Amino acid sequence: MNRLKLVRPTKEYEDQVMAYKEAFEKNQDSFDGCAGLEEVEDYEEACRNAERDYIRQYEPEKVFEKAQKEFDLLWDKMKRVAETLTPLILVEDKREKRFNK
């Protein structure tokens, strides 16, 4: 089973977070759910804002536990869809090989 990982914002993630911000800005994507990332100039400010506005207010462990359960349900659904489609894909693949010979 795939597992999500809850991490606190630390210096270790600075390059990854700022690249994420840059990609969103470049593609003019929405920053919904990004803890105000669109409003900061640097990573330190982003960490301070996350601590002040989100980490204390939302009890991340509880929110994360719920998100993990929802992710697990979604993952199970995706596996069932793949299992349903696999025989159809294999049949189509065999037909393609037969026609391409």
Reported as a single tens digit per residue, the pLDDT across 57-68 is: 777 777 778 888
Considering only residues 43 and 7, tell me which one the structure prediction assigns the higher pLDDT: 43
Q: What is the pLDDT of residues 7-42, one digit of tens each?
A: 778 889 999 999 999 999 999 988 887 878 888 999
Cα-based angle 19, 5, 42 (whole degrees, multiple of 5): 30
The verdict on pTM exceeding 0.85 is no
Centre a 10 Å sphere on the Cβ of residue 50 and count the other Cβ atoms it contains. Answer: 20
Share of the chain above pLDDT 90, in %: 22
How far apart are the C-alpha atoms of 87 and 89, rounded to whole Å? 5
What confidence score (pLDDT) does residue 94 get?
A: 57
Q: What is the pLDDT of residues 67-79, one digit of tens each?
A: 888 888 998 998 8
The DSSP call for residue 62 is H
Banded pLDDT at 5 (limits 50, 70, 90) = confident
What confidence score (pLDDT) does residue 96 get?
A: 56
Contacts of 24 (CB under 8 A, 6+ apart): 30, 31, 34, 37, 38
What are the structural domain ranges in the chain?
Answer: 8-58, 61-101
